[in-house]
Structures are given as structure tokens and as C-alpha cells.
Structure 1
Amino acid sequence: MSASEKAKAKTEQTVGKVEKEVGHAAGNERIAAEGESKEAKGDLRDAKEKGKDALKH
């Protein structure tokens, strides 16, 4: 997994998780939904990179 893509994935997952929790705590469903979306995007990026690594080995 390339280091920059791994970092992007972890950043998206973390930012998404924080936004989701802040949105829920504040009662703002739009922010919570945006956070869930970012977290899912990070999860997909991570899975893509792991798949690419699996094919290399």
C-alpha cells in the first residue's frame, strides 16, 4: 500500500468518524451524514489499497 494513499485513507476515516460523532451530538444530521460519507470513502480507499497489495504478492 502506498504510504500517501494509506495516510489519505486513515485521515478520511478519522475525520469522518469525528464529524459523524459531532453531528450526532449536536443533533445536526447533515454533518453526521457527511461524516459517515467521509468515513466510508476512507474505508473504500483502504480496501482498494489492500486489494492492490494482495495482487502484488
Structure 2
Amino acid sequence: MGELKDKVKGNLNEAAGKIKQQSDNPETREEGAEQEGKGKAQQFSGKVKGALGDDI
């Protein structure tokens, strides 16, 4: 279950980050880039959990 949860959270964070990067505000664009990176990390975590099991 943790695998799916991480992947979904990752997808949502990545999408929100991409939207924020379209802003005219430089601070919001930077925040969006960070959020997109966080989303990618969460997706990777979900993939690892899927490969090794949710017990990690």
C-alpha cells in the first residue's frame, strides 16, 4: 500500500510543481521546481518499495 501512496503523492507534487513553475513570480517558480523534485523523489521511493516490499 505504501508503494501506491508514494507514487500518487509524487505525481500530485510533480504536477503542482510544474504548474507553479508557470508563474510570473520568481519565488513561486523556485518553489515549484523544489516541489517537482520532491514529487520525483516520492515516485522513486514508491518504485523502491514496490521492488523490495513495503517493509522498508
| Matched AA of 1:10 | N
Q: Tell me the residue number matched to 2:49.
A: 52
TM-score, structure 1 normalization: 0.77
- Structure 2 counterparts to residues 18-33 of structure 1, below 5 A: 18-22=19-23, 26=24, 28-33=25-30
Q: Percent identity?
A: 27
Counterpart Cα distance in 2 of 1:2 and 1:52: 5
CA RMSD of aligned residues (A): 1.4
- 4+ long deviations beyond 4 Å: none
Counterpart Cα distance in 2 of 1:52 and 1:3: 9
TM-score, structure 2 normalization: 0.79
Query: What is the deviation of 1:55?
Result: 1.6
Q: Does 1:8 align with 2:5?
A: no
